[in-house]
Amino acid sequence: MATNPIYKVIFYNQDKIYELYAKAIYQSEMYGFIEVEEFVFGERSQMIVDPAEEKLKLEFNGVARSYIPMHSIVRIDEVEKEGVGKIVESGGTASNVSKFPSMARPVIKTPDSTD
């Protein structure tokens, strides 16, 4: 691997899957979080603009360090060079559909049960 590694971090955030690249990643002093620093985005000299990566750039514009909860992390890979960061919809239900609130199941007592 390279002397200056690049990490690909994949994590869940608000029903979306984020894939981004960073030069520094480590366990935070805040319990249960991973710190991600020095984000890496594609070259600005590219002629083609990828809307998915542009959305990611806008969201992390001005962010020096991001704290990601460990339970949101899907995968962290050390890679040789950065790829294209992106935000994609999770494979679950659509974001405009919410789970109907449910009540606890009633306890049914049978004649032979003892209390």
pLDDT tens digits for range 76-98: 999 988 888 888 887 655 455 55
pLDDT digits 0-9 by tens, 40-58: 876 654 556 667 677 888 8
Q: Which residues are CB-contacts of 72 (< 8 A; sequence separation ≥ 6)? A: 11, 12, 13
**Is pLDDT at 69 greater than 70 in this prediction?**
yes
What is residue 13's predicted lDDT score, i.e. its pLDDT? 86
CA dist 108 and 98 (Å) reads 29
Written as one letter, the residue type at 55 is K
Q: Residue holding tokens 């969201």?
A: 59
Q: Could you tell me the pTM of the whole model?
A: 0.68
Q: Which of 28, 50, 49 is nearest to 37 (CA)?
A: 28
Higher local confidence (pLDDT), 30 or 110: 30
